A and B are shown apart, each in its own frame.
Chain A
Amino acid sequence: MKRLTGFKVIALVAVALLLGPVAAPAFQGEGTLRIGGMWALSGGAAFFGKAALGLATLAADEINEAGGVTVAGKRVKITMHPQDDACNAEQGLAAVRRLATVDKVLFSLGPTCSSVAEPVFGTLQKKLGDSGDTGLQLLFFTDTATKFGLAKLSPWVFRNTPDEPAMYDFIVKYLKETKPELKTVMVSYESDFAHSAATWKGALEPALKKYGHHEIKEVVDWRWLDTEMGAQITKLRRANADVYFALAHTTSMCPSLKEMKSQRVRPKMIIGITSLAGTEVLINCPDLAEGVISPTNFAPINPKAKQIADKSWEKYKADSNIHSVPAYENVHLIKGLIEKAQLKNTEESLLEDRRKVRDLLAKVGTFQGVIGKITLHPEDHPVKPRDVDKDMLLVQVKNAKWSVFWAPPHLKGN
């Protein structure tokens, strides 16, 4: 009897195995246009994945409420096809093929994690239009994965993500000009987290060397999941520099700030990493983070931005931040391109349609984002092809909320 039940359980599993992947719906005949997204919707990075999904869905809602998008003379609705990669490379490698060949989406947003983006973008086609290159032909317009240089991996990848070298270059210059009396700096970073290590080695260190104004007193590192930084903070205490660059994500930022408070280390200024400016750190350690400054590309500084932030939270409990708002911008931008591109929107024309949208995206140049103008660089850009330049702001934690510390003058008028 027991063995029978055992096999019943296994039969159940077999059914689940068969049903799951097959249960993909038929193609566009139904009069829709499919867009995909690949995010971490479960696991440790789910906060960022769910936020981007919420903002993308909000954009799709807005378009659909306004009547949809015009394709081949017809008004059609947009449908979202999100896939969860759990911030895991193997799942990402399967999910990207699911988006490309089962969900048959026109383009995909995401992914959340750079460690998923690396293999996924690496397996995309590298030589455009070359049938000898068997990489996957799926257009990506990325919102979150920030690691520098990811868009170079394939001509099918475009990104609307922060440009960290430019951000830290600005910060160092800004400090030199407005606070010349702050002459010494100390730095911490997460040596096992590619994003953090790259921000130090590829963005901040070159900027500090370039301007030559600041003296680096101490550099310490820890692991991004570390919780105990007593020894490192003691070193910072001994260094006692004016400016502290904490290139750490929320997980290690909060315990390190706690240790700093405990050891009474009070630098005159604390500047965090780009991803910090979201709700996560405010939930985790609002009191400790008081006063921390962080570079970002988004803050609710104009009515439009405020409205988006409120609506996405209300409807989808999605946090509007530096990584999620680009998903909203990307959907709106591509909607416009679709109407220009004369797509056929049939199953047979899918590769052709993707290519058309891709070619238009490569020529898009400057477009209007939520808080300011965004410039998408062309493919022959020497440093960062298919990546963007956009306005940056500095925000600061004040009374457990992010508030604007510095904004470019041309945005203040808005």
Chain B
Amino acid sequence: MDYYVAIASIIGIHALLGLSVYVVAISGQMSFGQQGFFAIGAYLAGMSTAMWGLGLVPALVLGALVAGAMGFVVGFPALRVRGLYLAIATFGFGEIVRLAFLNVRYTENIGGRVVGPNGAEGFRHVRYVYDRGFTGLHYLAVILVVLVVVVILFFLLERSKVGAKLRAVEEDETAAAMIGINVTRVKVVAFAAAAAVAGLGGGLFIHYSTYIDHDMVALPLAIASVTYPLLGGLGSFVGTLLGAIVLVGLTEGLRGLQGMREFVYGGLIILMMIFRPRGIVDEALVLRVKSWLSPRAPREPVQAP
């Protein structure tokens, strides 16, 4: 049981990271730097509970806020560029954050233990959750509540004017600008929101793992975070959730294959993308589901994927 709870917890945390990439992606951009915001959220939330005596909720909120603020600061210059440029610029930002944490030493001696970010040796003893008697299920509930709150916000966002603006910016920036949308503002706000979501994921992660170091927020995490929305599909945030479930699930589900695990994992990714190049939940599927749900809505022509 604990094992499945653990898998679900990791899926939940990574889904938040994936959603963060997703928000940037629906404004038409690809970010390889969300793990930087994840790291900021993790270190800040960890320091909040382990060093400053804050509770879990204020810690998570603080981590998310600081990550979001960083997203705002970085978003302004970075979002001047697009496409692969932005992908690499954001990756550069992620690496700068990682290298910064590699050099930050800010520790306190609490009860005979050295607590706090300690350079290459990492940040230990974030045991708030375990010391206060949270079981695995309790903490999974916390993760799911956060995830549900974020998802509800997303749901509202996709239906709101801001969501429509985002989609419009994704479709055609020039056209969006012509109908009076402040493209830069929409993009920067979306980027800051995305950063905050990644920061939330990081805060939840460090309280789950009790430990983080710079190596855990390097290139592999960047690749993982991008795979969830891409495999899941950019038609809806549901795709990202599904992507996280499938990919984290596969990593664990294929354990029985021992040494063959990674081969099958990589091969399945290729196969799934060949058959669903826009991901599992692509725009066509979303339209189809919508027309099922509300038969009165005009049936739009469904493009073959």
A–B contact at 8 Å CB threshold (below): yes
A contact set with B: CB distance below 8 Å:
2-3, 5-6, 9-10, 12-13, 16-21, 23, 41-43, 83-84, 88-91, 93-94, 97-98, 100-102, 115, 118-119, 122-123, 125-126, 131-136, 147, 152-153, 191-194, 197-198
Docked CA distance A380–B50 (Å): 25
Between-chain CB contacts (< 8 Å), 15 pairs: A6-B276, A9-B268, A16-B264, A20-B255, A84-B255, A94-B252, A100-B2, A101-B1, A101-B3, A118-B124, A122-B124, A134-B135, A192-B214, A194-B120, A194-B122
Cβ contacts B252-283/A at 8 Å (1 or 0 each): 11111011011010001001100110001000
| Closest chain A CB from B45 CB (angstroms) | 15
* Chain B interface bracket (under 10, 10 to 19, 20 to 34, 35 or more): 35 or more
* Selected contact of A2 from candidates B134, B216, B259, B275, CB within 8 Å: B275
Chain B residues whose C-beta falls within 8 Å of the C-beta of A192 in the assembled complex: 102, 120, 214-215
Docked CA distance A311–B238 (Å): 53
Cβ contacts B110-140/A at 8 Å (1 or 0 each): 0001000001111011110111011110100
| Closest chain A CB from B279 CB (angstroms) | 11
B261 touches A98 (CB 8 A): no
Complex: chain A residue closest to B285, CB-CB: A3
B120 touches A197 (CB 8 A): yes
Known: A5-B275, A21-B253, A134-B130. A89 touches B121 (CB 8 A): no
| Closest chain A CB from B151 CB (angstroms) | 21
Docked CA distance A91–B251 (Å): 8
* Selected contact of B211 from candidates A13, A91, A122, A134, CB within 8 Å: A122
Docked CA distance A147–B120 (Å): 12
A122 touches B133 (CB 8 A): no
Complex: chain A residue closest to B224, CB-CB: A90
Known: A41-B259, A101-B3, A122-B209. A89 touches B124 (CB 8 A): no
Complex: chain A residue closest to B213, CB-CB: A115
- Count CB-based A-B contacts (< 8 Å): 150
Q: Is the interface of A mostly helix, strand, loop or mixed?
A: helix
Docked CA distance A399–B294 (Å): 78
Chain B residues whose C-beta falls within 8 Å of the C-beta of A90 in the assembled complex: 10, 14, 209, 248
Known: A102-B3, A133-B130, A197-B119. A89 touches B214 (CB 8 A): no
A89 touches B216 (CB 8 A): yes
Docked CA distance A100–B264 (Å): 26
**Is there a chain A Cβ closer than 8 Å to B70's Cβ?**
no
Complex: chain A residue closest to B220, CB-CB: A88
Docked CA distance A21–B215 (Å): 28
B253 touches A20 (CB 8 A): yes
B133 touches A134 (CB 8 A): yes
Docked CA distance A131–B134 (Å): 11
| Closest chain B CB from A251 CB (angstroms) | 14
| Closest chain B CB from A273 CB (angstroms) | 14
Docked CA distance A115–B3 (Å): 20
Docked CA distance A7–B268 (Å): 13
Docked CA distance A2–B262 (Å): 26
* Selected contact of A135 from candidates B6, B130, B138, CB within 8 Å: B130
Chain A residues whose C-beta falls within 8 Å of the C-beta of B129 in the assembled complex: 134
| Closest chain B CB from A185 CB (angstroms) | 22
A123 touches B134 (CB 8 A): no
* Selected contact of A101 from candidates B2, B10, B254, CB within 8 Å: B2
Q: Give the top 8 A-B pairs by smallest Cβ distance, nearest first.
A: A20-B253, A122-B210, A6-B275, A119-B209, A118-B211, A97-B6, A101-B2, A17-B253
A91-B252, A118-B213, A135-B127 provided; 8 other pairs, C-beta below 8 A? Answer: A9-B268, A17-B249, A41-B258, A42-B259, A90-B209, A135-B130, A191-B102, A194-B121
A198 touches B3 (CB 8 A): no
B10 touches A94 (CB 8 A): yes
A19 touches B120 (CB 8 A): no
| Closest chain A CB from B231 CB (angstroms) | 10
